[in-house]
Structures are given as C-alpha cells and as structure tokens.
Structure 1
Amino acid sequence: MDDFEEIRSLLMEPAKEYGEGRTSSREFAIELKRRTKEAAIRLVNFMERTGKSPALSVVRYQLLKSGTSVAANYRAACRARSKKEWYAKMCIVVEECDETVFWLEVLMESEIRVNETEVRVLGKEYQTLLQIFAKARATAKV
C-alpha cells in the first residue's frame, strides 16, 4: 500500500460514506477540504449553543480559532505553489488540529457544562483528521 492509499484508508470510515474507488489525489483533497470545512461549521454551531461562563469564553475563543484554522490552512495547503510551501502549511494544519483536540479534551475534563455527546463527536472527528494530516506530513518527501 503506498502512502496515499494508507492515508486514504484512514478517511474511509465507513467506505460507503465517502464512496468507493476514489484513487486520485485531487478527489482526496476535495473530500478533505469538504470534511474540514464541515467540522469547522459543526464546531462553530456547537459553540454558539453553549453557555456564557468566563471559563467557557476562553475555551470557546481558543477552540474557534484552532478548529476553523484547520480548514483554512488545509485549503491554503491545497493551493501551495511548491512542496515546501505545502509542507509548511501542513505543519500548521497538524498543529492547529492537535490544539483543537486539546481544547475539546479540556471541555470534557473540566466542570464546564456542555453537551458531552457533541464534544465526543467533534473530538473523534478532529482526532481522525489529526491522524490523516500527521501521516500525510510525515510521509511527505520535501
């Protein structure tokens, strides 16, 4: 299995949800752009439904910055003019994705009142995206 196929297999959960037979890197990038944007929108909508405590305001701000940055920087990586530029953007994507997972963990482990089911779903999605992006960055030949 080549690097692309290995990364692609992480995305296929379940395979029928994303379609079978995708082989081009262009289709893969389009799917990841859609998926990161959708995750960012779900995160924004979730944070809009939460309370107004001072602690939550800090976490909300950090989460919104990092969670939306994943989608924005991946989109920028797809428009990179060189492999080095792509790699630099992917480093940012991995960092922001990891930060998003961190802030979601803070929400789960703190006494801030939030819908734990929604936090778990968001956490699973960002953790999966982190695995995909970290693998892509690690296997890049720059």
Structure 2
Amino acid sequence: MQNLKDRTKLFAINCWKLCSKIPYSREYNAYVNQLIRSSSSVGANYRAAQRAKSTADFLNKLKIVEEEADESMYFLELLLEVLKENHEEIRALHKEANEIVSIIVTSINNTRKNNLK
C-alpha cells in the first residue's frame, strides 16, 4: 500500500499532467490554476502535518488538507462539465481526491478521539 505522503504527491502531479492537456484560454485557465494550487496544497500541507509541533497544529494542518482536497474535487467537477475530453482521467482524479478526503477525515476523528482519552 502506498503511503499517504507519496499518494498526495502523485495526486498533485497527476492533476498537473491533466491540466497540461487542457486548452489555453482565459476561461479554462481560471479552473486550471485553481486545481493546480489546491491539488499541490494537499500534499504540501500533509507533509507539514507530519512535522506538527502539537496535536492542535497537526489537526489544523489536516483540516487544511481536507479543505484543499475537497476544493480539488470541486474544480475537477467543473472540468467534467465543461470539457469534452479526458473524462476518465478526471473521474479517476476525483475518486482519488475523495479517497484522500475520507482518509484525512478518519485521521482527524481518530486523533480527536484519542486526544480525549
């Protein structure tokens, strides 16, 4: 099983590869730029969470990962609506983002539960 640090990095790379295939236009660029930012932030903030100075810091960084992965899902959904091609690739990335959100939410809930003990 691939570790989450590598998985989030691969997610960002694969989003970038998708974005490199999208036609250059003012309309598409808004979505492309946002997707590149949010998808790369997923991995960057997950890495930062691994170096957290406290449980509160760790949870805060994981919440950012959750938000950025969810934002990535939103822009992938928009691209599904406006692009005529790459639908399978977009769906696969959307599925990966959703799985990352699920993993992160579980981690947040488990950390909170363990912290109450």
**TM-score normalised to the size of structure 1?**
0.75
Give 4+ residue runs of structure 1 displaced > 3 Å after superposition.
Answer: none
- The residue number in structure 2 matching 1:99 is 71
Aligned to 1:9: none
The structural deviation recorded for 1:69 is: 0.2
Match of 1:27 in 2: none
Q: d(CA) in 2 for partners of 1:40 and 1:96?
A: 11
Q: Which amino acid aligns with 2:36?
A: L
- Cα pair 1:55 1:112 within 8 Å, conserved: no
The alignment of Structure 1 onto Structure 2 pairs a total of residues equal to 113
Residue 98 of structure 2 aligns with which residue? 127
Q: What RMSD in Å do the two structures reach over aligned CA positions?
A: 1.4
* Alpha-carbon offset, residue 49 of structure 1: 1.7
CA offsets 1:81-108 (integer angstroms, 9 cap, x no match):
1111101101100010110011111111
> 1:115 aligned to 2:115?
no
TM-score by length of 2: 0.90
Query: Does the CA-based 8 Å contact 1:107-1:114 persist in structure 2?
Result: no
For the residue of structure 2 that corresponds to 1:52, the secondary structure is coil
Identity of matched residues, %:
35
1: CA distance, partners of 2:63 / 2:25: 33
Structure 2 alignment gaps of length 5 or more:
none
Higher share in helix:
2
Cα distance in structure 2, aligned partners of 1:133 and 1:67: 14
Q: 1:113 Cα deviation (Å)?
A: 3.6
1:37-116, aligned counterparts within 5 Å? 37-109=9-81, 111-116=82-87
